[in-house]
């Protein structure tokens, strides 16, 4: 089997232990991954702290940091086919998606390369005539970045890019499910010329996660994953009082009004729930459709779902590949069973096909007569769409906000005034109007509630990795008066 290594303090090394990574398309092991211990994590954090506090990284100008990020962007762009093939092999994400996404990841590093020397402080018009006061934006310190297996090169770029641009150093923990592409990405970091310890990449389970999030030299924790794990991380951060940015799950409403272009809405909905085999935090998993167009839209979606090309993820013609893990497939089956028991109607899908691999077909559940179905509240993280009917705009808004999540949302309507009312009323960090799943390094991304806090992308993300230092400079040449002499 192939063998991968950790990247710690500028060196590639085996873990004290290793584990087999499974190919989701076959269910068979294909590579050995290093398993980070608490001692491995400590060495990585200590290396990051040394890099943060000493030359060459600590004394590097913002422009020089930007040049390293430009070089990394070039290397990612050139290595995109190799990284895409690894991500497809190790996670089951189809090659047509990994190829396009990883090529675009380079744009994030390029954006933050250009932003590195534009993170500015400020001069304050202070109310004291003999003082000059200004603010410096300085890097917060060592960053613990923790990413899941899905879209891991993208989800690491929106952390590494701004953190490095701001001058921080990073210990990046890849998920133990499908870590191959990030461990391979470490070679690009090395080749780009980042000083040893600036970026460290390892993988491991709960022991590594606890050691990283509680380490006294970690100043900020950037996490993408599920709410339950995030709760553990927030509790762990009490040990070091590290700040946190959390990009968590979603149960995103996809709202279609009766004046919408139904073909466009159907295409966007298919992309929003069946792309990436539904394993996306922004999956448009709750379709809220106005009653007058429900049947027409559902007929389009059913036909599209049943025509989807399911197959090997390394084939360009495949449209839906396997789920990443067997346990995720079992969870989806259980959630569908609970929802149909609560009155939801299975429109299509929901049944396992024979053969190897962790495949699951595109599935649609009509929950219009089952408002308490678990499918409407819990995240599937798979290709399962839950449908609800509404009559009025007010009802649509109430249904959209009837969730503990608040990450993304979509609105399809030809009415400009209605679109603006929905934009104001929907409680979500992102609102897409007449489109879905559009992203850019320029645009901040994030949510609230069980979808977390903080933003990734744009200038806002870079500022999350800085702290403000206030500088007071007295301009008078007169001696400071004796405070104990009455005048």
Give the residue numbers marked as catalytic: 247
- Residue 307's SS3 state is helix
Cα dihedral 64, 65, 66, 72, rounded to 10, equals 120
C-alpha span between 90 and 82 (Å, rounded): 12
Is residue 281 within 8 Å of 248, Cβ to Cβ?
yes
The answer to whether 245 and 448 have CB atoms below 8 angstroms apart is: no
Tell me whether strands 253-256 and 286-290 are parallel, antiparallel or unpaired. parallel
Question: CA nearest 141: which of 219, 45, 216?
Answer: 219
d(CA 29, CA 90): 10
| C-alpha of 263 from chain center | 29
CA distance linking residue 450 with residue 249, whole number of Å: 7
The span from the CA of 454 to the CA of 77, in Å, is 28
Contacts of 286 (CB under 8 A, 6+ apart): 251, 252, 253, 254, 376, 386, 388, 399, 403
CA-atom Rg of the chain in angstroms: 24
| DSSP3 helix / strand / coil % (the chain, rounded to 5) | 40, 20, 40
19: enclosing H helix or E strand: strand 17-23
Dihedral sign, Cα of residue 32, residue 38, residue 41, residue 47: negative
* DSSP designation for 457: S
């Amino acid at each position: 089997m192939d063998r991968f290594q950790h990247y710690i303090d500028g060196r590639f090394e085996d873990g004290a232990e290793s584990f087999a990574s499974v190919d989701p398309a076959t269910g068979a092991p294909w590579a050995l991954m290093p398993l980070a211990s608490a001692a491995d994590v400590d060495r990585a954090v200590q290396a990051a702290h040394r890099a943060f506090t000493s030359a060459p990284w600590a004394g590097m100008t913002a422009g020089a940091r930007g040049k390293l990020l430009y070089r990394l962007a070039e290397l990612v762009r050139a290595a995109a086919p190799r990284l895409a093939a690894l991500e497809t092999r190790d996670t089951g994400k189809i090659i047509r998606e990994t190829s396009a996404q990883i090529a675009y990841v380079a744009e994030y590093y390029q954006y933050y390369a250009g932003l590195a020397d534009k993170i500015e402080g400020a001069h304050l018009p202070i109310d004291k005539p003999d003082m000059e006061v200004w603010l410096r934006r300085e890097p917060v310190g060592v960053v613990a970045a923790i990413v899941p297996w899905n879209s891991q090169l993208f989800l690491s770029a929106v952390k590494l890019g701004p953190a490095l641009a701001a001058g921080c150093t990073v210990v990046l923990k890849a998920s133990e499910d499908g870590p191959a592409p990030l461990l391979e990405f470490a070679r690009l970091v090395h080749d780009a010329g980042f000083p040893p310890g600036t970026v460290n990449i390892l993988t491991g389970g709960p022991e590594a996660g606890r050691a990283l999030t509680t380490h006294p030299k970690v100043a900020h924790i950037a996490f993408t994953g599920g709410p339950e794990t995030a709760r553990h991380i927030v509790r762990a951060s009490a040990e070091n009082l590290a700040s946190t940015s959390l990009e968590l799950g979603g149960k995103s409403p996809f709202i279609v009004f009766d004046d919408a272009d139904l073909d466009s809405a159907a295409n966007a909905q298919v992309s929003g729930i069946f792309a990436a085999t539904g394993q996306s935090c922004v999956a448009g998993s709750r379709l809220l459709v106005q009653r007058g167009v429900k049947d027409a839209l559902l007929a389009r979606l059913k036909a599209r779902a049943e025509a989807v090309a399911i197959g090997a993820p390394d084939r360009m013609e495949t449209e839906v590949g396997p789920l990443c893990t067997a346990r995720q497939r079992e969870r989806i089956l259980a959630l569908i069973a609970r929802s149909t028991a609560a009155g939801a109607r299975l429109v299509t899908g929901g049944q396992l096909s024979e053969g190897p691999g962790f495949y699951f077909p595109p599935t649609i559940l009509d929950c219009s007569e089952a408002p308490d179905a678990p499918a409407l509240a819990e995240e599937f993280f798979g290709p399962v769409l839950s449908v609800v009917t509404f009559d009025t705009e007010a009802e649509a808004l109430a249904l959209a906000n009837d969730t503990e999540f608040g990450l993304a949302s979509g609105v399809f309507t030809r009415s400009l005034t209605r679109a603006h009312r929905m934009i104001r009323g929907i409680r979500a960090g992102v609102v897409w109007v007449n489109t879905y799943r559009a992203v850019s390094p320029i645009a901040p991304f994030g949510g609230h509630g069980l979808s977390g806090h903080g933003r990734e992308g744009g200038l806002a993300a870079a500022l999350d990795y800085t702290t403000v230092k206030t500088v007071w400079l007295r301009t008078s040449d007169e001696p400071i008066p004796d405070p104990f002499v009455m005048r």
